[in-house]
Amino acid sequence: MTAQNKKVRIAVLISGFGSNLQAIIDACRSGYIPNAEVCAVISNRKEAYGLERARQAGIAAVYFPLKPFKDQGKSRQDYDAALADLVASYRPDWIVLAGWMHVLSMAFLGRFPGRVINLHPALPGAFPGTDAIRRAYEAYQRGEITHTGVMVHLVPDEGVDVGPVLAQQEVPIYPSDTLADLEARVHAVEHELLPTVLRKLVLGQLQPRQAAAEQRTNPTT
């Protein structure tokens, strides 16, 4: 394989069901994300169904837990450094956090500057951290918001869901919605937005540094 047609390699870190991982796998294999492949799927939870998705797709699936590091008296930074070594061994061009429930330190992020992407089921500045969809639903019930959304952003440092935004999309909330209704609507947007961002990155239509600069001058971009 020549340099011209060498595939873009995407490593995906997960902690759960892996529906967004599946969306990436499908988009790569259909050609929507052109000339790209998922090179590895890594989970910090053994029971994560996303690992089975990877195995079924013939993709390297690795369970890499934090507990053994804690048992040996090692720090989260030690874990992150070892995780970085593992991820680097697959030579990824991009690292995608798709439901990865672990705040990464600079021991990991410093190894992949400008190449770590996170998906978060809320708009910039809203509901960082876990249970974002439930918290948005409850805020709607209290009359505090009229909609929620999804964003894809870079992860430059240890801030939680605050990196430069690559894309965002609003998701409506309706008076008749149950939490399950809202979750389904948010996930449907996630499954479209994340592959779209990856497609633009692979095609060179989206430049992370430019996106960061544009966000500083136009926060709604």
- pTM comes to 0.91
Phi, psi of 137 (to 5 degrees): -60, -45
Sign of torsion, CA 13 14 20 26?
Answer: positive
pLDDT the model gives residue 221: 39
The whole-angstrom separation of Cα 119 and Cα 99 is: 7
User: Domain with 123 in it: what CATH number?
Assistant: 3.40.50.170
- Asked whether residue 1 is assigned to any structural domain, the reply reads no
- Asked whether residue 2 is assigned to any structural domain, the reply reads no
Q: pLDDT per residue over 73-120, tens digit each? A: 999 999 999 999 999 999 999 999 999 999 999 999 999 999 999 999
- Asked whether residue 13 is assigned to any structural domain, the reply reads yes
Which amino acid would we find at residue 103?
A: V
Query: Which one, of 107, 209, 78, lies nearest residue 154 by Cα?
Result: 209
- Asked whether residue 45 is assigned to any structural domain, the reply reads yes
Q: Which domain holds residue 121?
A: 8-217
The total domain count for the chain is: 1
Give every CB contact of residue 67 below 8 A, 6+ residues apart in sequence: none
- Asked whether residue 69 is assigned to any structural domain, the reply reads yes
Catalytic residue of the set 120, 147, 153, 187: 120
Q: pLDDT per residue over 28-65, tens digit each? A: 999 999 999 999 999 999 999 999 999 999 999 999 99
- Is residue 69 pLDDT above 50, yes or no? yes
Whether 120 sits among the annotated catalytic residues: the reply is yes
**DSSP single-letter state for residue 37:** E
Strand partners, 149: 170
- Asked whether residue 113 is assigned to any structural domain, the reply reads yes
pLDDT the model gives residue 169: 98
pLDDT the model gives residue 26: 98
Up-side HSE of residue 145: CA atoms within 13 Å toward CB?
A: 19
- Asked whether residue 3 is assigned to any structural domain, the reply reads no
The torsion of the CA quartet 103, 109, 113, 118, rounded to 10 degrees, works out to: -20
- Is residue 192 pLDDT above 50, yes or no? yes
